[in-house]
Amino acid sequence: MPWIVTPDTARLIEYLQLAFDAQELARVQGAGGRIDHAEVRIDDCVLMMSDSRPGWPTAPAFIHLYAEDADAVYRRAVAAGGTSVTEVTELFFGDRVGRRARSAG
C-alpha cells in the first residue's frame, strides 16, 4: 500500500478528491492540527499519507492508476491544480499510460 509523506496532507486529500474522485477513509489529527495518518480510496486502491515532520526531506511519490479514459482523468487532474509531467504514451509491455500530472500538494 503506497504511503505518501507530504507537507500538506489535507490539501493532497482535497486534490485527490477533485482529480480522481478519491473517498477519504480515515484521518488522524495530531498535535497542532498535523495529520499523523490518513487514507483515501481511489477505485480499488488505498493510499496512506501523513504530514511530514519539520526537517524531513521532500520525498517524491509516483502512483500508477488505471482509468477508462486517461485523457479525461488527466484533464481533471490538471483542472484540480496538478501540473503536467509527461504525455500519454504506449509502454512496451502494452499499457497505455495517461498523461501524468503532479499534485498541487
Sequence letter at residue 13: I
pTM of this prediction exceeds 0.85 = no
Q: Where are the domains of the chain?
A: 3-54+61-102
Q: At what angle do helices 70-79 and 9-20 cross, to 10 degrees?
A: 140
Mean pLDDT confidence for 62-85: 82
Mind listing the pLDDT tens digit for each residue in 36-57?
Answer: 999 999 988 899 999 999 898 8
Report whether CATH 3.10.180.10 matches the domain 3-54+61-102. yes
Q: How far apart, in whole angstroms, are the C-alpha atoms of residue 77 and residue 81?
A: 7
